[in-house]
A and B are shown apart, each in its own frame.
Chain A
Amino acid sequence: MRESPQSSILSGALKGCLGSLDGACIEKLLLHCASALESNDVTLAQQVMWVLNNVASPVGDPNQRLTSWFLKALISRVSRVCPTPMNLNGNSSPQRRLMTVTELAGYVDLIPWHRFGFCASNSAIFKAIQGYNKVHILDLSITHCMQWPTLIDTLAKRPEGPPSVRISVPSWRPPVPPLLNVSSEEVGQRLGNFAKFKDVPFEFNVIGEQPTVPSSPCISTLECSSLQYDFLLNQVLNPSTLKLEDDEALVINCQNWLRYLPDEQNNGASQEISCRDIFLNRIKDLNPCIITVVDEDSELDVSNLTSRITTCFNYLWIPFDALETFLSKDNSQRIEYEADIGHKIENIIAFEGTQRIERLESGTKFSQRMRNNGFFSVPFCEETISEVKFLLDEHASGWGMKKEDDMLVLTWKGHNSVYATAWVPCGFDD
């Protein structure tokens, strides 16, 4: 058969792959697709997409699975380049699966991705609140209080007796998985049940009125995000809304949270620092006795699309690889977990501006930001480190941990995945 020009293009692209499409090759293809999109080269884009489509499979090996999500994100991006009447509601996400609380409990323990942060943070919190009889935790996280049962359990066994515990969560959280099929109130109710069972005096509050998210697509997403940001600053980080008390230890827990705060310079004339920094300063003003911050260790807030794709691909293979080691290819929990990561991939690759809410910065950069904003880091003690080690020993042996400056970092086969840090404001009054 006569070789068509198309095959010569593709053969060029695939030449280096030597008969097998490994991660390196797929990454190249993804980048070709991205640059084709950037330069409006439809022909090349569709050709590469065609090849990627043949590689992709959500139930294949980790590379194939990752590819399927990346490809989907690229297609999603294309559809935003040229909006049609059908996708006016540009920010709408597909119907996401909602979990029950018990499903979520299992989900966070599938791999130590979340549990690592929980363990390190809870241990640091436990140490920091020694001597206090009242604790107030402001929980800013996306995992719906899954962190707290183990802390409550530890506090219950405190030799001097448990402190009374108050947990506050904002009534709004970023619209990202994991999603629950019950309200925060219900979650708090169950937590309260458990605390009672453990004889720990407990109170749960959902803070603030929900910012009115308009259903009409006419309001710009810019307005949406500023509404939420205002809500966070003015209602959540508000001493009177929080009902702060002097004899209470205030703990602020940020887990996979700060990345959703915009980091560009504010448009206001007088503002010179970003929303994220303003947020941190407001936290400082509340005079917490400890701030625990956990997030993923990757630099994903880059304006250049091809850099984002590379970084994203070279980072998110980690959870895919980890899941592969012990769950079968058609395991539904695995597929769902990966789908949630796919949601993140889509936001990072398909969206821009205020719609791209995933603005993750690396642990190192974040630590520098904290220092710049007047916090100093609380080192994790040996006890914490051994607790975390013990935890990781109970999981697959690819998981490890290392100390990097101020951070404890979860590693998979030596690659950084999640970092955990603890901070106090400089000049904290005990």
Chain B
Amino acid sequence: MPADMDNSSVMNDSTASGDASASSSGNQAAAPPTSSAKKKRNLPGMPDPDAEVIALSPKTLLATNRFVCEICNKGFQRDQNLQLHRRGHNLPWKLRQRSSKEVKKRVYVCPELTCVHHDPSRALGDLTGIKKHFCRKHGEKKWKCDKCSKKYAVQSDWKAHSKICGTREYKCDCGTLFSRRDSFITHRAFCDALAEESAKAQTVEALPAPTADDEEPKLQTLASSSPPPSVAVQPPPPAALVSSALPVQNPEGPENPKQSPAPPQILEETSVVTSLTGSCGSSSSSSSHGSTSSSVFASLFASSTTSASLQSQTPEFTDLFRAVARPENASEVVASSSTEPISLCLATSHGSSIFGTAGQERRQYAPAPQPAMSATALLQKAAQIGAAATNASLLRGFGIVSSASASSGQQEWSGRGIESDSASLAAGLGLGLPCDGGSSLKELMLGTPSVFGPKHTTLDLLGLGMAAGGGPSGGFSALMTSIGGGLDVAAAAAATFGGSGEYSGKDMGRGS
């Protein structure tokens, strides 16, 4: 296994010098420690384990016109093109034939160390591909679209974009623009604007007074006096409306004699129309089929172009508006426990997404962008933490409060805990500690207990404060106790992490 890594290092270094270097170590891909060569063949990330992995230098990849005519200095991307050009100068020319023998399959890796395509298992199959990739990803964006000011590093990308920019635009009634027809069609099918249009086709002018309740009698009145919320019904006979088992096409509610089970339909209409209550079951969107005040909001969105574009591009703001339309539920949503029945769960998730997303975005702007933490730096820090046995708790840092609020905990997990923990650790870098590891990877993999140090210091990483005792499950019990039992501690610790004041407050509310 160490041999593998040495090979990797050889390949990495070789790209720093010279124009091109080829290493024919086909199976260099990151391999699970215990897999055999045969198993690597099946790795999905490795299309052809026998392929020759080639690493070209940045200079080579960026060069566009390597082949230059000696007469007029005109540059060409391919030698073939140069040769054809030379004919024009009446120079002897020769097109190199494709070699008849089997050419070994080549794959190309990106020379950029931090790039995902630096890894042979992510190599790209053709030279043009890797050149384009390098240019796009790591190159300067010198090509700019006139119309929309989008920037491109690869000229062909820019050309391709310019061709279509602004030429094909599909506009939905709600104001959203699409450059692709299929996305336009799909959006249109489900857009509220279409629902409104069909409602309008009923030739009704006045919008009904918004009623926020879901009682059946009132709704009956609503259904009969107001424009029916669902399908547009023209004079053509109801037979054209293929009736289904569920009241999909029923416009008139209880008044339509052809529809048999009236009460269930009303119920259905109830949940569809009255979105203001956030009732259990189906629609909780204020822009549902309803012709109540929900459509007032919808038309508000539709009429103003700015908010319409908001609607498509910043769904979280639209949700915010909708949540506002549901007064009583929105504010309580975020603080409430997550074990409520479905109705509030819907609202909860909505609420979380509103505040969560926005909150996340705010918080993530605050700390500095994470530096790519080097392995060396991590070693230094690990040494520091392990030896000093500080209070920093590994799993506290994850923000895992308890399983009861694990749902919310897990939601925040991704947004907060990891970030702040890493940020504070990042601050502790650069201590100048020497890093020289004695043990090899092999030792580590075998996991010989002799390699591990005194357990008490290690366990303190978790803040367990006890020796690793008992059998296998004993260790895990300790691990889980720290997760589960760390309720107050975790919440308190969470509160101290910078930049997360908002969330930890809610956390504690939930956890306690």
Contact = CB atoms under 8 A, between A and B. Distances in A.
A14 B375 contact: yes
Interface string B228-252: 0011100000001010111011000
Given A36-B447, A47-B461, A115-B182, A7 B190 contact: no
A306 B285 CA distance: 43
B503 interface: no
Interface string B195-207: 1011000000000
Contacts of A146: 186
Contact of B372 (A21, A42, A310): A21
A interface residue count range (under 10 / 10 to 19 / 20 to 34 / 35 or more) = 35 or more
Contacts of B418: 53, 56-58, 68
B504 to A, nearest CB: 18
Interface stretch (A96-104, A219-227, A263-271, A284-292): A96-104
Interface in B160-184: 160, 164, 179-180, 182-183
A44 B437 contact: no
Nearest to B397: A53
Nearest to A99: B315
A32 B32 CA distance: 9
A3 B385 CA distance: 11
Interface stretch (B5-13, B63-71, B74-82, B94-102): B5-13
Nearest to B417: A53
Given A9-B439, A12-B440, A20-B375, A307 B32 contact: yes
Contacts of B507: none
Contacts of A6: 382-383, 385-387, 453, 457-458
A359 B403 CA distance: 26
A189 interface: yes
Contacts of B131: none
Interface residues of B, number: 166
Interface stretch (B83-91, B210-218, B474-482, B493-501): B474-482
A389 interface: no
A340 to B, nearest CB: 12
A325 B483 CA distance: 36
Main secondary structure on A side of the interface with B: helix
Nearest to A20: B113
Nearest to A195: B189
Contact of A192 (B9, B117, B248, B414): B248
A191 B440 CA distance: 61
Nearest to B154: A397
A4 B383 contact: yes
Interface of A: 1-25, 27-28, 31-32, 35-36, 39-47, 49-51, 53-64, 68-69, 72, 75, 78-79, 81-82, 84-87, 92-106, 108-109, 115, 118-119, 146, 148-150, 152-153, 164, 181-183, 185-194, 196-197, 201-206, 297-299, 306-307, 309-311, 314-315, 317, 321, 325, 330, 332-333, 335-336, 339, 342, 362, 391, 394, 397-398, 413-416
Given A54-B425, A94-B406, A105-B186, 7 more contacts: A10-B437, A47-B461, A84-B484, A94-B338, A95-B407, A193-B189, A193-B194
Q: Lowest 8 CB-CB distances: which A-B pairs, in order?
A: A11-B437, A5-B453, A24-B30, A40-B472, A16-B5, A314-B45, A6-B386, A149-B189
21 contacts: A3-B383, A7-B379, A11-B439, A16-B441, A20-B374, A40-B471, A43-B475, A44-B444, A46-B479, A61-B372, A84-B484, A97-B353, A102-B311, A109-B183, A182-B284, A196-B232, A197-B197, A197-B232, A201-B242, A204-B244, A332-B357
